[in-house]
Structure 1
Amino acid sequence: MYGDGVDTREQLIESARELLWERGYVGTSPKAIQQRAGAGQGSMYHHFRGKPDLALAAIRRSADEMRARAEAEFAGTGTALDRITAYLGRERAALRGCPVGRLTQDPDVMADPELRAPVEETFTRVTEQLAALVAEGSANGELDPRLDPVATATALVAVLQGGYVLARAAGSADVYARAVDGALGLLAPHVRKEG
């Protein structure tokens, strides 16, 4: 599945990431990972102590990528509201769900403090950064200063994650887009008009 330029460790991590996103922890067997990676059992155990160790590397990679992408959008150009809008409106694989958010529905991941940690850290960090943008917008007069930054950021993250769930349930990415539009609509009355 992977080209010769990708080393076996990377192939295993990427295969585990894809399978965790598609099937969850229990549904992702070491054999399935090895098959997708085109790697043998010996290669897997050469690089990782076992499935939990490989799953942790895969979860961390997904979490790191999600945070890095969000951070790039939050640090982009434009007003605080522009950056919030860019983050919310970014194209996502709505019907596949969030690769990190889906892990919260996996009891085996949530029951293991080590596997759970990168998931929790990711949502905490994204929420904190969104809250900082809301606070920035309030401080510079762009947003209503009565808007609670943490509550607003938490609601926005919940809309995105819930949008994935609703889109998957309906089998339509349009439902996800409507959730994002609704979140932006709820923010609209709090935008200060320049005068």
Structure 2
Amino acid sequence: MYSGRMTTPERLIEATQELLWERGYVGTSPKAILERAGAGQGSMYHHFKGKPDLALAAIRRTAEQLRAAAELPLSTPGTAYARIEAYLLRERDVLRGCPIGRLTMDPDVIVSDELREPVDETLDWLRERVEGIVQEGLENGEFTASLDPRATAALIVATVQGGYVLARARNSAEAFDAAAQGLLALLRHAAA
């Protein structure tokens, strides 16, 4: 499953990322991690203090990857609307849900300040990044002055996260697409 060039810690982190996305924290057992990583018994404790330490490394890696994936469309040249549109319509595995957003529903992650921190930081980063783009659109006269950048950024992030939930509930990416298209229609209506 993993290339022979990956180190054992890398295989453990990647396996944990996948399992957290699929099963959540409680459903991700050390045995499942070792099996998925193709690592020997005791490998996890040789490289990490235990499951919480490995989970934290995996959540941080997932957060970095999510930020990088979001930054690509958000940093493309073009209008603020075009950049937001590119972010909303970027290719995603909608039916799997957001690997970070899903962790907010995991009680063991939420009660742990340490595990929750990279989740909070990532969602905060995304809201702030989108808020800056909306602010640019206001400053460039692209949106009407009545558009609140902070509230609009929160709406965009909530629409994406809610779109994942709706798509998973219906087992159809169309639910996500409808949410994104509805938000884009509102933003077009807010165009100056």
TM-score with structure 2 setting the length = 0.98
Q: Say which SS state the counterpart of residue 95 (structure 2) adopts.
A: coil
Query: Structure 2 CA distance, aligned partners of 1:96 and 1:83?
Result: 24
Query: Structure 2 CA distance, aligned partners of 1:72 and 1:2?
Result: 26
Q: What's the CA shift string for 1:77-104, capped at 9, x where partnerless?
A: 1111111110111011110000000000
Deviation at 1:73, TM superposition (A): 2.1
Q: Say which SS state the counterpart of residue 92 (structure 1) adopts.
A: coil
Deviation at 1:157, TM superposition (A): 0.4
Query: Match of 2:184?
Result: 184
Deviates more, 1:70-79 or 1:135-144: 70-79
Query: Match of 1:42?
Result: 42
1:157 pairs with 2:157: yes
Query: Structure 1 CA distance, aligned partners of 2:145 and 2:134?
Result: 9
Q: Say which SS state the counterpart of residue 147 (structure 1) adopts.
A: coil
Deviation at 1:135, TM superposition (A): 0.6
Deviation at 1:68, TM superposition (A): 1.8
Query: Structure 1 CA distance, aligned partners of 2:34 and 2:163?
Result: 33
1:72 pairs with 2:75: no
Q: Is residue 132–residue 149 contact of structure 2 (8 Å, CA) maintained in 1?
A: yes
Query: Structure 2 CA distance, aligned partners of 1:68 and 1:3?
Result: 23
TM-score with structure 1 setting the length = 0.96
Query: Match of 1:175?
Result: 175
Q: Say which SS state the counterpart of residue 134 (structure 1) adopts.
A: helix
Q: Which runs of 4+ in 1 moved over 4 A?
A: none
Deviation at 1:41, TM superposition (A): 2.3
Q: Is residue 15–residue 37 contact of structure 2 (8 Å, CA) maintained in 1?
A: yes
Letter in 2 for 1:187: L
Query: Match of 2:20?
Result: 20
Query: Structure 2 CA distance, aligned partners of 1:191 and 1:133?
Result: 14
Q: Is residue 20–residue 28 contact of structure 2 (8 Å, CA) maintained in 1?
A: yes
Letter in 1 for 2:190: H
Q: Is residue 73–residue 90 contact of structure 2 (8 Å, CA) maintained in 1?
A: no
Q: Is residue 81–residue 187 contact of structure 2 (8 Å, CA) maintained in 1?
A: no
Deviation at 1:3, TM superposition (A): 1.6
Gaps of 5+ in 2: none
Query: Structure 2 CA distance, aligned partners of 1:125 and 1:162?
Result: 18
Deviation at 1:71, TM superposition (A): 2.1
Query: Match of 1:97?
Result: 97
**Aligned-residue RMSD, C-alpha:** 0.8
Query: Match of 1:125?
Result: 125
Query: Match of 1:52?
Result: 52
Deviation at 1:11, TM superposition (A): 0.4
Deviation at 1:138, TM superposition (A): 0.5
Letter in 2 for 1:52: P
Deviation at 1:76, TM superposition (A): 1.2
Deviation at 1:67, TM superposition (A): 1.1
Letter in 1 for 2:107: P
Gaps of 5+ in 1: none
Q: Say which SS state the counterpart of residue 119 (structure 1) adopts.
A: helix
Query: Match of 1:166?
Result: 166
Q: Say which SS state the counterpart of residue 72 (structure 1) adopts.
A: helix
